[in-house]
Amino acid sequence: MKFRIVPAAAVCALLLAARADAYVDCGNPRGPAENVTATKVRCGDARSFARKVADREITRSRRITLSRWRSYYAKVRHVRGKYDVRATRAGKVIRFQYRPRGSGGGCDPNYAGACLKPGVSDYDCDGGSGDGPYYTGYVEVVGDDHYDLDRDGDGVACEPY
């Protein structure tokens, strides 16, 4: 009987690959959510969750609690006119994208992640030293920063410190 010596790194890689959880493609539910994938969540549940979050048009990262669901933390990013959502709870992960129904309707198209009213005189960051009359929290600058909210020019305005 011949024995082969297997390097420890190869053994570790095999063990980690076996433990890694892969995303399962769950398809597109009715409505605005699309490209739903899930880890440790049944596809029917993942599609239902994605549909409910997209219907609420959640546009910023935060904790989400839906009826008959435990609380998930949703990391939300605005990418090319859509919102990319990655919701996690323990080892469970649900990912999807959605395009808001009112895209470009009543919000300033130069900002994403919050709906700033177009054509108003001034916006300032919540908790800052500005005098308003309108205030916003975290928001991404995706066009012209005509309210001068992104002081450091990195594309993210009203960043929490």
Higher pLDDT, 51 or 159: 51
Work out the percent of the chain whose per-residue pLDDT is above 70.
83
Per the prediction, the chain carries an average pLDDT of 81
The CA–CA distances, whole Å, from 88 to 17, 67, 83, 112 equal 21, 16, 16, 22
- What is the rounded distance in angstroms from the CA atom of residue 62 to the CA atom of residue 68? 18
The pLDDT assigned to 40 comes to 94
Check if the beta carbon of residue 116 is closer than 8 Å to that of residue 107: yes
What are 32-74's pLDDT values in tens digits?
889 999 999 999 999 999 988 888 888 889 998 888 888 999 9
pLDDT confidence bin for 5, thresholds 50/70/90 = low
Residues constituting the chain: 161
The residues, ordered by sequence, that sit 6+ positions from 19 with a Cβ below 8 Å of its Cβ are: none
Condensed to tens digits (0 to 9), the pLDDT of residues 90-111 reads 999 999 998 876 554 578 878 8
Give dist(CA 55, CA 28) in Å, integer.
14
Q: What is the mean pLDDT of residues 9-29?
A: 63
Domain map (residue ranges) of the chain = 21-98, 104-161
